[in-house]
Amino acid sequence: MSVLERYEPLIDDVEAFYSACERPLPAAVRVNTIKTTIERAQAALSEADIPAEQTDWNPELFILPETSAGGNWPYVHGWLHGQEEVSAIPARVLDPQPGETVWDCCAAPGSKTTQLAALMDDTGRLVATDNNMGRVSALRSNAERLGVTNLAITIEDSRNHSLKPFGGEEYDRTLVDVPCSCEGTIRKNPDVLEEWSYEHVEGTAGVQKGILKRAVQATREGGSVVYSTCTFAPEENEAVLDHVLDAESCQMVDFDLPLDSRPGVTEWQEQRYDESVTKAKRIYPHLNDTGGFFCAKLEVTG
């Protein structure tokens, strides 16, 4: 059985799924509203003679020809940032507000971090954590190019992050976009399937549970936590949510997403999960011509 065959029971149109997985992924950029406006960025692309198609669900995202995504002056000057379309989902779902204290606990290389900063109008306090020094260097470089100033970076394992790092102040919102087996990225990285192993999925799921638990613990009562991955594996998605729902004071909440998606699953290979995980959203490549993705939103209840 191939890696993708194991997910056929979860997919309503298997033929369309496989067909989408074999097509190259469209290149996308996000307008950096810290430095410019959507209209100015669109005009700059037009002046550079680069065709750009604005996405229906997020006006800040444009689909460009692959060869033009990073090789243009608006990108170099920090007006644009290369970001896969589904990668822009978690920050939008978290919906951080200006002036809040927000934690991005798996931050590097910074696409979602810098998107959070823009949504916060570059105000408040944004803490970005990663344990990989090389990736943190990329995070710093991207933040500087995009003009982010409300950012503090910590280099550590997020599972050990201080619960109240700022004089007893908890986070208002936390983004948990965890490292995963990355099956949903096959349209841009087909080699990921050759490197896949069930042992890796199991080991990664253990780390994901620890990170999500810490995120819930570090977020104030009534605050929001968004959990996301780019994998189809229920072991890394619904099973992680089920574990943390049982271990911590939190609950799943509904959220709107103007993209076609499927609900989280409650049964997988003789395992049953909390019924509320159906509030999570699974995005398969054939539904919106994107990469594969998983996103869930929780509210901290105590």
Neighbouring C-beta atoms of residue 184, cutoff 10 Å: 27
Q: Exposed, middle or buried by CB within 10 Å (0-12, 13-18, 19+), for 133?
A: exposed
Active site residues: 230
Q: Which two tokens stand for residue 155?
A: 């280099």
Strands 271-272 and 267-268 turn out to be antiparallel
